[in-house]
Amino acid sequence: MNSDYSQKCGIPEFQHSITGKWKITIIWALSIKTLRFGELHRQITGITQSTLTKQLRELETDQIITRYVYRQVPPKVEYSLTNKGKTLIPILKELNNWSIKELS
């Protein structure tokens, strides 16, 4: 164990931010543009409404995304990446590159 890591390792925190069956997919979708709940639900095939809600709440708690409610009927809710969330994108791209490189 060397100094940097043992004294304060942030990796578990990072992992928490993206751990969840659909979080990466959600983050990626929102990296393109802000989306409504229903739009996310349609884009992410296979996820249930309740699970989508749970994952969104967790991402919100971790301040990766924001939730904006339009006070109207019928309801309209928009999700978008926070600045913190946006800093994840280049990291995710690197992880993706690593996988592509190491799988060959």
Partner DNA sequence: CGGTATCCGCGGGGATACTG
Partner DNA sequence: CAGTATCCCCGCGGATACCG
Give the binding site for a second copy (CB under 8 A).
Answer: 1-2, 4-5, 8-15, 18-19, 24, 28-29, 32, 43, 84, 87-88, 91-103
The listed partner (DNA, a second copy, none) that binds 102, CB under 5 to 8 Å by sort, is: a second copy
Written as one string, the DSSP assignment of the chain is --HHHHH---HHHHHHHH-STTHHHHHHHHHH--EEHHHHHHHSTT--HHHHHHHHHHHHHTTSEEEEEE-SSS-EEEEEE-HHHHHHHHHHHHHHHHHHHHT-
Binding mask 43-82 for DNA (x = CB under 7 A): ---xxxxxx-xxxxx---------x-x----xxxx-----
Under the binding rule (CB under 7 A), the answer on residue 84 touching DNA is: no
Residues that bind DNA (CB under 7 A): 19-22, 36-39, 46-51, 53-57, 67, 69, 74-77
